[in-house]
Amino acid sequence: MAVHRPSADFPRHLRALYRRFPFDRSLAEDPLSGVRPLATDPWHAEVAGILAATIAVGNTTSIRRAFADLVERLEGDLAGWVDSAREYRPDPRLEGFHHRWIRAEHLEYLGYRLHDIRARSGSLEEVFRAGLGPEGDFAGGIDRLAHALRGPAPGTPGPRPPPGYLRLFPTPLGPNRSPCKRLTLFVRWMVRTEFPDLGMWRGVSPAVLRVPLDQHVYWIAYHLGLTARRSRSWATVEEVTAALRKVDGNDPVRFDFVLCHTGISGDCPKRADLRVCGPCVVRPDCRLWRGRKVAI
């Protein structure tokens, strides 16, 4: 069976999808909508961003609800909470917090880790850039960030993380070659300066970013022929990003928000439905429609 590839007109189609996209509508449905009001400076943006990205498990409605609950419990001062987290200990304000399998103890340990990172490195950007290095090793930057957030290695001084905490921060360099969607999403928020992202990390070029590969982006990327891989992995991330880099080498992940919310909103029904797919400008590139002749 021949490998499906996008049409020669795909770059033009994708740019048209981007131009027509209702960003304001979709931002309201995105966890980033809760982060933006808190991102008053780089540190506040880092704290709000990493907390929102960490709990970005499940559908966007439940994620936004959980983040709003966290913000309300901490009276909107997430950075102040981290600045005071000199030790890993229970915070009565977080008692009873839960989102999927994430509990208060996970966030309390994360707050403690963020306090330690700021004391030692100054910011999460500095941690990421140390792993990124002069060659722009994005996977190395995510790996360094993940290890900093995970905490001290076994056998070294420091409190141990609670059960289940370490799985919040996988690394693309680990044996499972995780796609690391949540950390990659966080870095996208911090680096890109175009709406709706925050653009707080001015020392990292958007050109080095990798696509945050959630289920919606993966499904659409596969059906557009941006990858032939049948599972989400770091290799799939690299393959999809390489395909998008051919459209925009300076900012390959600028299309991520559009692709993701095209899936979330139902604008991509994930089956051939002419009532929905008819107006879609990338329909000629989709494997569900390639070769079909239809009257619109």
- How far, CA to CA in Å, does 25 sit from each of 29, 53, 104, 193, 213? 7, 20, 31, 19, 21
Q: What's phi and psi for 154, nearest 5 deg?
A: -55, 135
What does the pLDDT look like over 193-232, one tens digit per residue?
999 999 999 999 999 999 999 999 999 999 999 999 999 9
> Which one has a higher pLDDT value, 256 or 290?
256
**pLDDT for the residue numbered 89:** 96
**CATH code of the domain containing 252:** 1.10.1670.10
Provide the domain limits for residue 40. 31-209
Residues 90 and 67 in one domain: yes
- Residue 148's SS3 state is helix
Residues 119 and 178 in one domain: yes
For residue 125, give both structure tokens: 């950007």
Categorize the per-residue pLDDT at 295 as very low, low, confident or very high, splitting at 50, 70 and 90: very low
Residues 240 and 192 in one domain: no
**pLDDT for the residue numbered 272:** 87
Residues 193 and 296 in one domain: no
> Average pLDDT of the chain?
94
Element (H or E) spanning 98, and its range?
strand 98-99
Rounded distance, CA 268 to CA 262, Å?
6
Residue 198 CB-half CA count within 13 A: 28
Residues 52 and 182 in one domain: yes
Residues 191 and 239 in one domain: no
What does the pLDDT look like over 127-184, one tens digit per residue?
999 999 999 999 999 999 999 999 987 778 889 999 999 999 999 999 999 999 999 9
What does the pLDDT look like over 75-124, one tens digit per residue?
999 999 999 999 999 999 999 999 999 999 999 999 999 999 999 999 99
Cβ–Cβ under 8 Å, residues 168 and 101? no
The pTM of this model reads 0.95
| Structural domains in the chain (count) | 2
